[in-house]
């Protein structure tokens, strides 16, 4: 008989043990030869050395299941102890699972093209209208890479120029000024990583969320780096960003060329980058459209209506210029 203490890391002990310790009780019933007690994130087990080795393997597999899927059921525990595939492991094409256990996967052909490009190339441009899931899918790919230890950190950025507001005129310190611009990135992360763990990762700089200006002078190694709302970058800004790329790094650049908030006479850096970098090996460019919109069905109608209106306005403006000439 030997005694061993097993420390559970990177998961919430409450989720691990289950409601009213249901998961722990199930383990006890499945492994009657062992005496199992738990307090906090430490499990104390007493029994035969061979049985304890098997138990330790089960605990690690349960822990990894929780990290990957953000949930575990009594049925999953039974499958793990019996060395069977769980239902989640048997399902295909899932990138990650959100905090409610819902699978996140591609919902359109172009979304699947982004996933395929990510697996193949190191730099991906995903361009298309609002609601096509560009940012959410990109962050899901980054979270998957981090969970599977393919990279050491996730870096998310976007230019803080939306709505025409100057940061200096906004209330609060620098973080309070910047955070509203970065909130869509926080929203996506909060859907995929439990709040306590996410806060810890941000505190430890495993996940970094910062405005584009903060990228200057850095070399980004061992990371998935995402630039969101790239249509609002200038030529100099996007060139600066793209040249931050280091070893074992993937970059995903997302944007919507119909939502440019730059001053009227300033060219979008994203538009230029798409022209300049086209055809370079290792860079993929995916263009999304209204068919990829995954928000409320009205969003597709709104995007279509605005496109028609803007096309009509451009035609009128072009006709007026020709008359003047």
Whether 108 is in a domain gets the answer yes
Would you call 228 exposed, middle or buried from its count of C-beta atoms within 10 A (0-12, 13-18, 19+)? buried
Whether 305 is in a domain gets the answer no
Per-residue pLDDT at 170: 55
Whether 304 is in a domain gets the answer no
Cα Rg for the chain, rounded, in angstroms? 24
Q: How far apart are CA 24 and CA 9, in angstroms?
A: 16
Q: In CATH, what number is assigned to the domain containing residue 281? A: 3.40.50.300
125, β-bridge pairs: 253, 285
Query: Are residues 100 and 146 located together in one domain of the fold?
Result: yes
- Token pair listed for 57: 């393997």
Query: Are residues 111 and 249 located together in one domain of the fold?
Result: yes
Q: How far apart are CA 231 and CA 290, in angstroms?
A: 18
Residue 89, helix vs strand vs coil: helix
Query: Are residues 146 and 260 located together in one domain of the fold?
Result: yes
Per-residue pLDDT at 164: 43
Whether 307 is in a domain gets the answer no
Query: Are residues 104 and 121 located together in one domain of the fold?
Result: yes
Residue 51, helix vs strand vs coil: helix
Per-residue pLDDT at 238: 94
Q: How far apart are CA 100 and CA 103, in angstroms?
A: 9
Whether 44 is in a domain gets the answer yes
Whether 61 is in a domain gets the answer yes
Q: How many domains does the structure of the chain reveal?
A: 2
Whether 26 is in a domain gets the answer yes
Per-residue pLDDT at 60: 92
The residues, ordered by sequence, that sit 6+ positions from 76 with a Cβ below 8 Å of its Cβ are 62, 65, 86, 87, 88
Query: Are residues 159 and 281 located together in one domain of the fold?
Result: yes
Helix (H) or strand (E) holding 153: strand 153-158
What is the number of other CB atoms lying within 10 angstroms of the CB of residue 226?
27
Query: Are residues 175 and 203 located together in one domain of the fold?
Result: yes
Would you call 5 exposed, middle or buried from its count of C-beta atoms within 10 A (0-12, 13-18, 19+)? exposed
Query: Are residues 128 and 197 located together in one domain of the fold?
Result: yes
Q: In CATH, what number is assigned to the domain containing residue 65? A: 3.30.1370.10
- Token pair listed for 125: 């441009």
Query: Are residues 70 and 131 located together in one domain of the fold?
Result: no
The pLDDT tens digits along the chain (325 residues) read 889 999 998 888 888 998 888 988 888 888 888 999 999 999 999 998 888 888 999 999 999 988 888 888 888 888 888 777 776 665 667 898 898 888 888 888 899 999 999 999 999 999 998 888 899 999 999 999 999 899 999 999 988 764 444 555 555 555 666 677 778 888 999 999 988 899 999 999 999 988 888 888 888 999 999 999 999 999 999 999 999 999 999 999 999 998 888 888 889 999 999 999 999 999 999 998 877 777 666 777 787 788 788 888 878 777 776 776 6
Q: How far is CA 131 from CA 43, 49, 126, 134, 256, in A?
A: 45, 55, 13, 8, 10
Whether 283 is in a domain gets the answer yes
- Token pair listed for 59: 């605990």
Query: Are residues 36 and 157 located together in one domain of the fold?
Result: no
Per-residue pLDDT at 91: 60
**The last residue of a domain, from among 90, 122, 143:** 90
Per-residue pLDDT at 325: 62
- Token pair listed for 42: 């430490």
Query: Domain range spanning residue 210?
Result: 96-294
Query: Are residues 169 and 86 located together in one domain of the fold?
Result: no
Query: Are residues 287 and 175 located together in one domain of the fold?
Result: yes
Per-residue pLDDT at 262: 87
- Helical residues (DSSP H) of 193-280, grouped into ranges: 195-203, 235-242, 269-276
Query: Are residues 115 and 230 located together in one domain of the fold?
Result: yes
């Amino acid at each position: 008989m030997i005694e061993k203490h097993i420390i559970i890391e990177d998961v919430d002990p409450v989720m691990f043990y289950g409601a009213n310790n249901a998961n722990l009780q199930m383990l006890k019933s499945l492994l009657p030869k062992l005496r199992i007690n738990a307090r906090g994130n430490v499990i104390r087990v007493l029994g035969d050395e061979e049985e304890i080795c098997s138990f330790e393997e089960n605990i690690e597999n349960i822990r990894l299941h929780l990290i990957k899927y953000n949930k575990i059921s009594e049925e999953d525990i039974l499958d793990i102890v019996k060395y069977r595939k769980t239902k989640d492991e048997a399902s295909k094409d899932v990138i990650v699972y959100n905090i409610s256990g819902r699978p996140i996967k591609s919902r359109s052909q172009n979304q699947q093209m982004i996933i395929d490009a990510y697996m193949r190339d190191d730099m991906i441009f995903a361009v298309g209208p609002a609601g096509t899931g560009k940012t959410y899918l990109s962050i899901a790919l980054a979270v998957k890479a981090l969970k599977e230890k393919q990279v050491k950190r996730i870096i998310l950025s976007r230019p803080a120029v939306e709505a025409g507001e100057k940061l200096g005129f906004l209330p609060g310190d620098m973080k309070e000024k910047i955070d509203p611009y970065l909130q869509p990135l926080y929203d996506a992360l909060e859907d995929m990583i439990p709040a306590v763990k996410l806060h810890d990762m941000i505190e430890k700089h495993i996940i970094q969320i910062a405005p584009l200006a903060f990228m200057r002078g850095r070399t980004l190694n061992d990371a998935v780096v995402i630039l969101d709302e790239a249509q609002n970058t200038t030529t100099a800004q996007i060139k600066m960003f793209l040249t931050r790329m280091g070893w074992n790094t993937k970059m995903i650049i997302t944007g919507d060329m119909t939502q440019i908030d730059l001053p009227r006479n300033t060219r979008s850096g994203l538009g230029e980058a798409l022209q300049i970098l086209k055809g370079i090996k290792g860079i993929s460019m995916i263009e999304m459209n209204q068919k990829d919109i995954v928000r409320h069905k009205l969003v597709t109608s709104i995007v279509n209506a605005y496109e028609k209106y803007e096309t009509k306005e451009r035609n009128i403006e072009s006709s007026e210029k020709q008359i003047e000439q």
